[in-house]
Amino acid sequence: MNIGSHIAKLRENRGWTQEQTAALLGISRAALSHYEKNRREPDSEILSKFADMFNVSVDYLVGRTNVAPLATHDEPIRDFIEHLELADEELLNKYDLTLDGRKLSADEARQFIVFVRAERILTKKT
């Protein structure tokens, strides 16, 4: 697998659009598309941002290893994750999350939560 394939797969596994991912990285959607299609290679700064965002090593992104480490969290975050089931329909039905006046579907709500968590992780690391 090449760099672009790794980036695209990691992004898709999280259910993120190119626009969401590019915004988190501070790059254009077109630049991300070029990286994913291997038309351009990210410089070391952007490559490091990808690694941090997806919680993988640069070695994984460039194909030096096939092992993508699992996300690790500190204890308070692990505890929160273990006690909150975002896929619980009862929870999503209890709280009406809306955007532009329309209620988010369960899938949209989960994607929104994933996006916010990723942005917080990136913000904390910079």
Is the pLDDT score of 110 beyond 80? no
Q: Which residues pair with 103 in a beta bridge?
A: 98
What value does the mean pLDDT of the chain take? 81
**Is the model more confident about 39 or about 100?**
39
- Model confidence at 116, pLDDT cuts 50, 70, 90, reads confident
Residues 23 and 56 grouped into a single domain: yes
* Residue 22, pLDDT score: 94
Residue 70 within a domain: no
Q: Has this prediction a pTM greater than 0.75?
A: no
| SS3 (DSSP) at 90 | helix
Percent of the chain with pLDDT over 90: 36
Return the CATH number at 9. 1.10.260.40
* Residue 80, pLDDT score: 60
Give the chain's domain count: 2
Q: Which residues pair with 99 in a beta bridge?
A: 102
- Model confidence at 104, pLDDT cuts 50, 70, 90, reads confident
The model's pLDDT over 17-41, given as tens digits with 9 standing for 90+, comes to 999 999 999 999 999 999 999 999 9
Question: Which tokens go with 97?
Answer: 């999350």
Name the strand (E) or helix (H) holding 106: helix 106-125
Which residues form the domain of 85? 75-125
Residue 68 within a domain: no
Residue 84 within a domain: yes
- Residue 108: name the closest of 96, 118, 120, 119 by CA: 96
Maximal C-alpha separation, the chain: 47
